[in-house]
Amino acid sequence: MSHGYIKDKGDYLRRLRRIEGQVRGLQRMVDEDAYCLEILTQVSAATKALESVALRLLDEHLAHCVVAAVKAGGPDPHVKLREASDAIARLVRS
Amino acid sequence: MSHGYIKDKGDYLRRLRRIEGQVRGLQRMVDEDAYCLEILTQVSAATKALESVALRLLDEHLAHCVVAAVKAGGPDPHVKLREASDAIARLVRS
Amino acid sequence: MSHGYIKDKGDYLRRLRRIEGQVRGLQRMVDEDAYCLEILTQVSAATKALESVALRLLDEHLAHCVVAAVKAGGPDPHVKLREASDAIARLVRS
Amino acid sequence: MSHGYIKDKGDYLRRLRRIEGQVRGLQRMVDEDAYCLEILTQVSAATKALESVALRLLDEHLAHCVVAAVKAGGPDPHVKLREASDAIARLVRS
């Protein structure tokens, strides 16, 4: 079974590699005693980039997995929606 | 001039390396077609870990740079406080 | 046409009235020169209460409006999902 | 003893009354069966308005209470900074 986001795997991987680079850049900044608030600015940038990945994953999850479950009928859509709601709550609260 | 967080450089580096590992793990999950919501859970975990780093940096910034500026007198504390407030606003809104 | 949350109207109204009371309490605290961080604690409580209302509205929206649109077929589910995604993004970023 | 925000009491009260009005507007929307996502948009607006109040309270707290504690010397600045850090963490996580 394939998941909704799969058609853009390359794009997800590119974004995540960029975030990995940002996190390595943070290590360099700490190592070179950069100014705390400059490091903080970069932490916010990496956090925002992760948040964008999360929102996109969620969009594709709703558009694919949830819609597929609704079309298939049965009790599964409720499970899928509950899962999606929990994921949204975690995102909003993080 | 040394910055406030420096005494714990090793701890910051350890946390950031762990976050780098989490981001690499996310790439692996995407690559291996993991379930979207499992990936999302891991994205939330990495975001929370970055947020903890940010909060700690901010604490140490307030306790060191801002306090030092206040003690030194002059117009600098206001600049430092303005900078710190902007950083807090970025964190709260990210 | 009735909306998904309607069956719990009374509960929404009770929660919102409680939040209104919290905001009036904040005015009283400011008026009586309460300690800034005590006021801040109450602001956080009101914010969290609003966030809970938002998450619940979103859950019911997904479970009712979006599911109904998917079942009805046609282009509407995509519009509904786009709207829901925008609402989720606003929540995550606020 | 007067708190840092006091000089703008009128402005805080005006903002909080506006937020109270927004929360009453939300009750009206629920009562009149407004569309879920429209209600959600208004919830986000009220949340953002509360967040602005919180950020401003925090700024003034840092600029007044914390700076005063540092200037006065003694162990109090650490207590004040700890309190401020806890308040920032609650805001970032809410």
C31-88 pLDDT, tens digit per residue, is 998 988 899 999 999 999 999 999 999 988 888 888 888 888 777 778 888 888 999 9
Instruction: Give contacts of B48 with chain A, Cβ < 8 Å.
Output: 94
User: What does A7-70 look like in DSSP terms, one character per residue?
Assistant: GGHHHHHHHHHHHHHHHHHHHHHHHTT--HHHHHHHHHHHHHHHHHHHHHHHHHIIIIIIHHHH
Is C36 close to D57, i.e. CB distance below 8 A? yes
CB atoms within 10 A of CB A75: 8
Alpha-carbon distance of B34 to D84, in angstroms, equals: 41
Residue C2 has pLDDT above 60, yes or no: no
Instruction: Give contacts of D60 with chain C, Cβ < 8 Å.
Output: 36
Residue D1 has pLDDT above 50, yes or no: no
End-to-end CA distance of chain B: 30
Q: What confidence tens digit (pLDDT) does each residue in A22-77 have?
A: 999 999 999 998 988 899 999 999 999 999 999 999 988 888 888 888 888 777 77
Instruction: Give contacts of C60 with chain A, Cβ < 8 Å.
Output: none
DSSP element (H, E) containing D26 = helix D9-31
Instruction: Give contacts of B30 with chain A, Cβ < 8 Å.
Output: 5, 9, 12-13, 16
CB C64 within 8 A of CB C84: no
Residue A90 has pLDDT above 80, yes or no: yes
Give mean pLDDT, residues B62-89.
84
Alpha-carbon distance of A64 to A10, in angstroms, equals: 18
CB D5 within 8 A of CB C30: yes
Partner C contacted by D28 (CB < 8 A): no
Average pLDDT of the residues of chain D: 87
Alpha-carbon distance of C39 to D60, in angstroms, equals: 12
Task: Specify the CATH class of D4-93 in words.
Answer: mainly alpha
Residue carrying the six token digits 């993080």? A94
Partner B contacted by D79 (CB < 8 A): no
Partner B contacted by A28 (CB < 8 A): no
Quick one: pLDDT at residue B3?
58
Is A47 close to B84, i.e. CB distance below 8 A? no
Partner D contacted by B78 (CB < 8 A): yes
Is D89 close to B55, i.e. CB distance below 8 A? yes
Alpha-carbon distance of A91 to A88, in angstroms, equals: 5
Per-residue confidence at A92, pLDDT binned at 50, 70, 90?
A: confident
Distance from CA of B9 to the nearest CA of C (A): 30
Chain centre to alpha carbon of residue A1: 21
Alpha-carbon distance of B89 to D51, in angstroms, equals: 9
User: What does chain B look like in DSSP terms, one character per residue?
Assistant: ---GGGGGHHHHHHHHHHHHHHHHHHHHHHHTT--HHHHHHHHHHHHHHHHHHHHHHHHHHIIIIIHHHHHH-SSHHHHHHHHHHHHHHHHHH-
CA dihedral of residues B24, B60, D92, A15 (deg, nearest 10): -20
Q: What confidence tens digit (pLDDT) does each residue in B11-37 have?
A: 999 999 999 999 999 999 999 989 888
Alpha-carbon distance of D40 to C90, in angstroms, equals: 9
For residue A38, give the chain B residue with the closest CA. B87
Q: What is the DSSP letter of D32?
A: T
Partner A contacted by B14 (CB < 8 A): no
Give mean pLDDT, residues B36-49.
93
Per-residue confidence at A5, pLDDT binned at 50, 70, 90?
A: low
Q: What is the DSSP letter of A5?
A: G
Per-residue confidence at B8, pLDDT binned at 50, 70, 90?
A: confident
Instruction: Give contacts of B39 with chain A, Cβ < 8 Å.
Output: 57
Vertex C65 angle, CA C64 and C68, to 5°: 80
CB D40 within 8 A of CB C58: yes
Q: What confidence tens digit (pLDDT) does each residue in C4-13 have?
A: 556 688 999 9
Q: Look up the pTM and report it.
A: 0.86
- Give the closest of A71, A78, A84 to C70, CB-based: A71
Instruction: Give contacts of C94 with chain B, Cβ < 8 Å.
Output: 93
Distance from CA of A42 to the nearest CA of D (A): 16
Give mean pLDDT, residues D43-59.
93
CB D13 within 8 A of CB C31: yes
Is C31 close to D23, i.e. CB distance below 8 A? no
Q: Which chains pack against A, by 3+ Cβ pairs within 8 A?
A: B, C, D
For residue A89, give the chain D residue with the closest CA. D94
CB atoms within 10 A of CB B46: 26
Per-residue confidence at C24, pLDDT binned at 50, 70, 90?
A: very high
* 3-class DSSP assignment, residue A75: coil
Alpha-carbon distance of B19 to B48, in angstroms, equals: 10
Taking CA atoms, A5 is separated from A13, A65, B30, B66, D44, in Å, by 11, 10, 9, 45, 28
Per-residue confidence at A6, pLDDT binned at 50, 70, 90?
A: low
Partner A contacted by C86 (CB < 8 A): no
Is B85 close to D66, i.e. CB distance below 8 A? no
Is D59 close to B51, i.e. CB distance below 8 A? no
Residue A3 has pLDDT above 70, yes or no: no
Partner C contacted by D10 (CB < 8 A): no
Number of H helices, E strands in chain D: 4, 0
Residue A1 has pLDDT above 80, yes or no: no
Is C48 close to D94, i.e. CB distance below 8 A? yes
Number of H helices, E strands in chain C: 4, 0
For chain B, give every domain's residue range.
4-93
Alpha-carbon distance of C52 to C54, in angstroms, equals: 5
Quick one: pLDDT at residue C1?
46
For residue D94, give the chain A residue with the closest CA. A93
